[in-house]
Amino acid sequence: MKITVNVWRQKNAQTKGQMVKYHVEHVSPDMSFLEMLDVLNQQLIAKHEEPVAFDHDCREGICGSCGVMINGLAHGGNQATTTCQLHMRSFKDGDEITVEPWRAKAFPVIKDLVVDRGSFDRIIRAGGYISASTGSAPDANATPIPKDNADLAFDAAQCIGCGACVAACPNASAMLFTSAKIGHLGLLPQGQAERQSRVLNMVAQMDAEGFGGCTNIGECSAACPKEISLHFISRLNRDLLGATLSGGRTVE
């Protein structure tokens, strides 16, 4: 296959970027999308041109490093698929593909397709944990957890923190990401003690980072490679309302 790609090139955060067109030869349908970019980069290096920078690591859809807008869709729009798992058999010979970084104020571009997602880490630091210091744990089977709750908690806990939800949202909201952690921990008996402070602090941090508000559009869930449900946003809103009405204080 021969593919044409329009790629966002930006030297660094201070410089303005632009779209650049490249032709990639010898693309096999069995290649992953990132392997196609590898081929492009080898071509560029051979021509003494700087390769395109993009984040990637595990290349099996679990680390959450990779993620670009492909033809305007986060991770390319295939159901439950990260960029590294997208294969070129989803495209046709001669296709022209547009590749851009995540677009969100809270995800500033570092270089080319690489963005800074440190805002996600700061949301977790604001309360996305259970304060169980090492050594304080009772026996693992001391507290049975109904299977349905455990399964639902797992569904939320699958979030890989890639940022597709933010990139897909017209408001660049981080509600799906934040609600996944609130949902995961709030469904478990171990997560109850900090449930109110958790939702208040995480939402406050999410707002402080400059993510937009949620207007229930649902693009986030449709773009999520782990198919995290909008249900968790409802749970977050319910927890937030409860914590606010009960006068839950922000615990420092």
Partner 1 sequence: MTVDTKPQVETRRPVEYTDSRLNAKIPAGPVEQKWAKHKFDMKLVNPANRRKFTVIVVGTGLAGGAAAATLGEMGYNVRAFCYQDSARRAHSIAAQGGINAAKNYRNDGDSVYRLFYDTVKGGDFRAREANVYRLAELSVNIIDQCVSQGVPFAREYSGYLDNRSFGGAQVSRTFYARGQTGQQLLLGAYQSLSRQVAAGTVELNERTEMLDVIIINGRARGIVTRDMVTGAIESHLADVVILATGGYSNVFYLSTNAKGSNTSAIWRAHRRGAFFANPCYTQIHPTCIPVSGDHQSKLTLMSESLRNDGRVWVPKQAGDTRSPDKIPEDERDYYLERRYPSFGNLAPRDISSRAAKAVCDEGRGVGPGGLGVYLDFSAAMKRLGEATIRERYGNLFDMYERITGENPYKVPMRIYPAVHYTMGGLWVDYNLMSTINGLFVGGEANFSDHGANRLGASALMQGLADGYFVLPATISDYLAKGGFEAVDASHPAVKEVVEEVTARTQKLLSIQGTRSVDSFHRELGNIMWEYCGMSRTEAGLKKALELIPALREQFWSDVRVLGSGAELNQELEKAGRVADFIELAELMCRDALNRAESCGGHFREESQTDEGEALRNDDDYCYVAAWEYMGDPSSAVLHQEQLVFENVQLATRSYK
- 73 or 124: CB nearest partner 1: 124
Q: Least distance to partner 1 from the beta carbon of 142, Å? A: 8
* 8 A C-beta contact, residue 101 and residue 115: yes
Q: Least distance to partner 1 from the beta carbon of 59, Å? A: 5
**H/E segment holding residue 127:** none
Q: Which residues contact 221 (CB under 8 A, 6 or more apart)?
A: 165, 176, 227, 228, 229, 230
Q: Least distance to partner 1 from the beta carbon of 148, Å? A: 9
- 62 or 217: CB nearest partner 1: 62
- 154 or 215: CB nearest partner 1: 154
Q: Least distance to partner 1 from the beta carbon of 197, Å? A: 12
C-alpha distances in Å from residue 35, one per residue of 29, 47, 80, 243: 11, 19, 19, 47
**Assign residue 70 a region: left if phi > 0, alpha if psi is -120 to 50, beta otherwise?**
beta
Distance, in Å, from the CA atom of 70 to the CA atom of 58, rounded to the nearest integer, reads: 20
**Residue 7, strand partner residues:** 20, 99
- 53 or 73: CB nearest partner 1: 53
- 120 or 211: CB nearest partner 1: 120
Q: Least distance to partner 1 from the beta carbon of 215, Å? A: 27
Q: Least distance to partner 1 from the beta carbon of 151, Å? A: 8
For 160-228, the three-class secondary structure string (H helix, E strand, C coil) is: CCCCHHHHHCCCCECHHHHHHHHHHHHCCHHHCCCHHHHHHHHHHHHHHCCCECCCCCCHHHHHCCCCC
